[in-house]
Amino acid sequence: MPAKQATLHIEKLVKTFAAGNQRIQALRGLSMQAEQGDFIAIMGPSGSGKSTLLHCIAGLCQADAGKIYLDGKLLANNNDRQMSALRRRKIGVIFQSFNLLPNLNIGDNICLPLYADGKKVERDKLHSLVERLGIADKLKRRPASLSGGEQQRAAIARALLCEPSLILADEPTGSLDSIAGNQFCELLRRLCEEEKRSILLVTHEPAVAVWAKKVLVLHDGQQVGELELPEQMPAAELAAAYSKMIA
Ligand SMILES: Nc1ncnc2c1ncn2[C@@H]1O[C@H](COP(=O)(O)OP(=O)(O)O)[C@@H](O)[C@H]1O
Ligand SMILES: [Mg+2]
């Protein structure tokens, strides 16, 4: 059973994919935990299982074995409808693809998960969020008329508006320039420090990972290292430590 205060508790997660007559073990018994207010960066070479891990947590992919607890609740015990409701309320997902609906304006795209839950949108909250993300003047626009970075920020706002206890982000700064990328990392850091949200951030960029409090390193579907990060760790120092772990 997970510790009482853990937002996320994962035990021995296994996921195997079949590709032709090959079997690919994407996750090989991975265990990890995130407490409330943790900000964990997950690093690892391409193919090490980072996205699979986030997909399993988000329920976008079913693990073959292992357990995932969210706020003390075993996720596998929920049926699909309950699971998607739980995810909408408790997990904010920011993936590389923005998945914005082309026929809705940005404001409606951001509010969609709340509408789906029959909840009212608190206008003040929405406005302070889009203000912080620099897209306050884009709410009436369709996604196609925004730049990639702006669409990404809309997807970020959509994930954050329901104030999830767990935020999952897979290479979220990939399409942002370095200033916007830094602003995004700063926002994540504030969400963990001021609002005690738990964050799992997959990235291959040391300059992004240094914003986290801890780094988990994956290799071949297993954790091969863990680093507690001091405040203001230089990215080059993290890059050097990371290289040693995957060597
Ligand atoms: N849907 C899938 N079908 C077959 N193989 C997959 C699928 N998704 C991921 N894999 C494989 O699982 C391994 C882990 O992938 P992934 O989790 O995407 O790694 P990462 O995000 O660390 O790059 C890789 O070898 C990848 O090719
Ligand atoms: Mg990936």
* Cβ proximity of 52 and 26 under 8 Å: yes
* 28-49 tens-digit pLDDT: 999 999 999 999 999 999 999 9
Residue 3 has pLDDT above 60, yes or no: no
Domain ranges of the chain: 36-61+80-246
Percent pLDDT > 90 in the chain is 62
Spacing, Cα 121 to ligand 2 middle (Å): 32
pLDDT for 240 equals: 95
HSE, CB side, 13 Å, CA atoms: give it for residue 35.
7
Residue 203 CB neighbour total at 10 angstroms: 24
Going edge to edge, which strands form the sheet with 198-202?
Answer: 91-94, 166-170, 198-202, 39-43, 214-219, 222-228
The mean pLDDT of 133-155, rounded to a whole number, is: 92
Q: What is the atom index within ligand 1 of the atom nearest the CA of 44?
A: 22
Residue 153 has pLDDT above 70, yes or no: yes
Residue 77 banded pLDDT, cuts 50, 70, 90: low
pLDDT greater at residue 73 or residue 17: 17
* Secondary structure letter of residue 204 according to DSSP: S
Residue 2 has pLDDT above 80, yes or no: no
Spacing, Cα 204 to ligand 2 middle (Å): 9
Q: What is the atom index within ligand 1 of the atom nearest the CA of 48?
A: 22
What is the C-alpha to C-alpha distance for residues 201 and 40, in angstroms, rounded to an integer? 6
* Secondary structure letter of residue 137 according to DSSP: G
pLDDT for 18 equals: 92
Ligand of minimum distance to the alpha carbon of 218: 1
Q: Which residues have CB under 8 Å from 48's CB, separation 6+?
A: 218, 219, 220, 221
* 115-142 tens-digit pLDDT: 888 889 999 999 999 998 889 999 999 9
Superfamily of domain 36-61+80-246: P-loop containing nucleotide triphosphate hydrolases (3.40.50.300)
pLDDT for 74 equals: 86
Residue 51 has pLDDT above 90, yes or no: yes
Residues forming beta bridges with residue 70, ordered by sequence position = 8, 73
Spacing, Cα 161 to ligand 1 middle (Å): 29
pLDDT greater at residue 246 or residue 80: 246
pLDDT for 4 equals: 62
State which of 15, 42, 51, 97 you would mutate to test the pocket of ligand 1, scoring each by most atoms of that ligand within 8 A of its C-beta: 51
pLDDT for 97 equals: 76
pLDDT for 23 equals: 93
pLDDT for 144 equals: 95
Give the residue, by CA position, lying nearest to ligand 1 atom 24.
47
Percent pLDDT > 70 in the chain is 97
* 88-114 tens-digit pLDDT: 788 999 887 788 999 999 999 999 988
* 175-225 tens-digit pLDDT: 778 887 888 898 889 889 988 999 999 999 999 999 999 999 999 999 999
